[in-house]
């Protein structure tokens, strides 16, 4: 009996029996059963029942080049045939890791010249936090230990990464999270924290929440501020243009390292190659992942400024940190091919010129919808926030699960539309066409209309 002899129900039974899914209510899953993905091409995914879905989320914000790019598969096969594995321990290196590190630093600002590889964004953030504390120890300032992050942030699921994440439900997953020495400030969420303020004014006010927290703790105790350029899992929170310049000024004033989590925003999501280019940020550390391989293999990178790397190298001796799969040859090879395609086909530039305006217009088209309180986007990431009362911004009670209902309505119509709470989020692949953008928003409108009727808003 081969795998193709099993039907969807067979796969669901096997799935329930053995596979624990991430971020899942498994009791609920036992009632509904999993959707079993079978194959994918371009921006579409088919399940084992033959249903086709537009992937409006690029997987989890990672499949930037879409599915089925043969060049990426072939790059992996070539590297595996030549060098299936090589540790980066024992003073050993290999060509794919060296070339990728060199290629990445060539895409980044001049002060970012060193790269450490891992397999996930969680690990990249874990590495960054160890670097931060090691840096201050070596500088003779071990009292600088406190890390400031933001509410509604998502930085991963390891102990430290979950602690950085400002999503309280994650803290109940076990492990004494958040860890000591991590604190959170409010996020630049204008719809909830400054609806009546001018966006430029609000950006400065929101940035100064960081300064207030630094002064409350004491600048001599604050090691770093870590943040995403714009927040995806938090509900497509896009800061005003005045926010990041003020954050940069505050970090420099108080000698606080600025750590930029570009795991989602990197490799074209904002319409620029990286979020730091879009917002004009000069980080001390930067975490990359997801789009680095377009999700074809797991890889992440922590990019380190000369200021931090020079101290680590000159004063640090052995840095006792690393992973078995740091710089895995096949993962590095697919990242190099991914970057080649993005560059030679001008994918990011085309997305900025052709797709971002259409996407932004699609998001804005919901501004008068009776169920939508706020429409926001940056590049090819956007959110439509569902509210009970459009005039006051009052949200539905959590127990109503309005966002989940809307997501299910979209999926029935063939679109993956993510519910971040009651904000419906979209992050389509960079290879989506303008016609497909229009199709995405047509389905999203049908789903939101159906949700409004269900909850008595239309």
The reported pLDDT for the residue numbered 115 is 98
The CATH code of domain 35-68+348-454 reads 3.90.1150.10
What are the tens digits of pLDDT across the range 238-297? Answer: 999 999 999 999 999 999 999 999 999 999 999 999 999 999 999 999 999 999 999 999
Give the rounded percent of residues in the chain with a pLDDT score beyond 90: 93
d(CA 429, CA 268): 10
Q: Domain boundaries in the chain? A: 35-68+348-454, 71-344
Give which of 303, 306, 256, 311 is closest to 275, Cα–Cα.
303
- Report, as an integer, the average pLDDT of 100-110: 97
Residues ≥6 apart with Cβ < 8 Å to 368: none
Q: CB of 53 within 8 A of CB of 44?
A: yes
The region of weakest confidence among 2-6, 55-59, 299-303 is 2-6
What are the tokens at 330?
């096949």
Fold of 71-344: 3.40.640
First-to-last C-alpha distance (Å) of the chain: 51
What are the tens digits of pLDDT across the range 23-41? Answer: 888 888 888 899 999 999 9
Q: CB of 295 within 8 A of CB of 429?
A: no
What is the model's pTM? 0.95
Residue 44, φ and ψ in degrees, nearest 5: -115, 145
């Amino acid at each position: 009996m081969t795998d193709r002899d099993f039907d969807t129900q067979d796969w669901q039974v096997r799935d329930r029996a053995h596979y624990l899914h991430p971020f899942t209510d498994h009791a609920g899953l036992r009632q509904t059963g999993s959707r079993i993905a079978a194959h994918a091409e371009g921006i579409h995914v088919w399940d084992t029942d033959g249903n086709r879905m537009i992937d409006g989320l690029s997987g989890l914000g990672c499949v930037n080049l879409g599915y089925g790019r043969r060049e990426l598969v072939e790059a992996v096969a070539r590297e595996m045939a030549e060098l299936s594995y090589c540790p980066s321990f024992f003073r050993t290196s290999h060509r794919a890791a060296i070339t990728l590190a060199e290629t990445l630093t060539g895409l980044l600002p001049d002060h970012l010249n060193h790269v450490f590889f891992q397999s996930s964004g969680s690990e990249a953030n874990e590495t960054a936090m160890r670097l931060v504390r090691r840096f201050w120890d070596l500088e003779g300032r071990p009292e600088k230990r406190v890390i400031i992050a933001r509410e509604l942030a998502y930085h991963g699921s390891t102990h430290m990464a979950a602690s950085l994440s400002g999503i309280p439900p994650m803290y109940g997953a076990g492990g004494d999270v958040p860890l000591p020495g991590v604190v959170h400030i409010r996020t630049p969420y204008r719809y909830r924290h400054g609806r009546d303020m001018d966006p430029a004014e609000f950006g400065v006010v929101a940035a100064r929440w960081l300064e207030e927290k630094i002064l409350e703790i004491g600048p001599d105790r604050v090691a770093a501020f870590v943040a995403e350029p714009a927040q995806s899992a938090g509900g497509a929170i896009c800061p005003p243009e005045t926010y990041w310049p003020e954050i940069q000024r505050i970090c420099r004033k108080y000698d606080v390292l600025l750590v930029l989590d570009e795991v989602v925003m990197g490799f074209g999501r904002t319409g620029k190659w990286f979020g730091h280019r879009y917002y004009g940020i000069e980080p001390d550390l930067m975490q990359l992942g997801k789009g680095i391989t377009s999700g074809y293999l797991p890889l992440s990178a922590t990019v380190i400024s000369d200021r931090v790397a020079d101290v680590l190298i000159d004063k640090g001796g052995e840095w006792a940190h690393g992973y078995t799969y740091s710089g895995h040859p096949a993962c590095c090879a697919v990242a190099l091919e991914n970057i080649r395609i993005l560059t030679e086909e001008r994918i990011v530039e085309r997305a900025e010129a052709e797709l971002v305006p259409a996407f932004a217009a699609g998001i804005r088209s919901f501004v008068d919808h009776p169920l939508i309180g706020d429409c926001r986007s940056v590049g090819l990431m956007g959110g439509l926030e569902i509210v009970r009362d459009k005039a006051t911004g009052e949200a539905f009670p959590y127990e109503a699960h309005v966002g989940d209902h809307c997501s299910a309505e979209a999926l029935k119509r063939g679109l993956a539309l993510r519910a971040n709470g009651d904000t419906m989020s979209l992050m389509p692949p960079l290879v989506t066409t303008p016609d497909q953008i229009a199709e995405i928003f047509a389905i999203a409108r049908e789903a939101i209309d159906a949700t409004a009727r269900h909850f008595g808003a239309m």
